[in-house]
């Protein structure tokens, strides 16, 4: 099991919640960067139970997965960089779905053997047309 201190839980800032424009269709997102010797294995353990959509309209090199009310765009590392996982959800329960996705990622990384590091980046909410 990896060191839990290298895999922090996602703790949204107050500003992240305040950024939500109520009464419009809104997409909330957070980016997870995963690095370390076991990054490939632990990211795959997170993605494996999700549904992969190979026909999704995403940029080259990006894969789209989904489960329940959230989706994940995964981008493998380039030149020794980090796995980039964009977690996203929209709708009335967008925050809850996104936090569930973040909790699932954290749990998968903590449960899989090997050294990894996880960092979070909140992204601004955007209106969905």
Band (pLDDT 50/70/90 cuts) for residue 58 is very high
Highest mean pLDDT among 2-6, 22-26, 50-54: 50-54
**Residue matched to tokens 């060191």:** 3
Can you tell me the distance from the alpha carbon of 38 to that of 11, in angstroms, rounded to the nearest whole number?
24
Give CA angle at 93 (7, 21), nearest 5°.
100
Can you tell me the distance from the alpha carbon of 61 to that of 2, in angstroms, rounded to the nearest whole number?
27
Can you tell me the distance from the alpha carbon of 74 to that of 31, in angstroms, rounded to the nearest whole number?
10
Asked whether 118 and 109 are in contact (CB, 8 A), the reply is: yes
Strand partners, 66: 51, 71
Residue 2 has pLDDT above 60, yes or no: no
Is pTM, for the whole model, over 0.75?
Answer: yes
Q: Angle formed by the axes of helices 39-47 and 94-111, to 10°?
A: 130
Residue 114: the pLDDT is 86
Band (pLDDT 50/70/90 cuts) for residue 23 is low
Share of the chain above pLDDT 90, in %: 58
Structural domains of the chain, with CATH? 4-127 (3.30.70)
Can you tell me the distance from the alpha carbon of 82 to that of 85, in angstroms, rounded to the nearest whole number?
9
**Average per-residue pLDDT for the chain:** 87
Residue with the larger pLDDT of the pair 13 and 1: 13
């Amino acid at each position: 099991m990896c060191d839990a201190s290298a895999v922090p839980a996602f703790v949204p800032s107050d500003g992240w919640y305040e950024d939500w424009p109520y009464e419009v269709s809104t997409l909330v997102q957070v980016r997870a960067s995963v690095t370390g010797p076991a990054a490939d294995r632990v990211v795959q353990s997170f993605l494996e139970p999700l549904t992969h959509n190979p026909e999704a309209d995403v940029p080259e090199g990006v894969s789209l997965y989904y489960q329940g009310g959230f989706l994940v765009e995964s981008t493998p590392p380039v030149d020794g960089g980090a796995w980039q996982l964009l977690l996203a959800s929209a709708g009335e329960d967008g925050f809850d779905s996104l936090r569930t996705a973040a909790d699932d990622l954290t749990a998968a990384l903590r449960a899989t053997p090997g050294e990894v590091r996880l960092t979070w980046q909140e992204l601004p909410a955007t209106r969905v047309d």
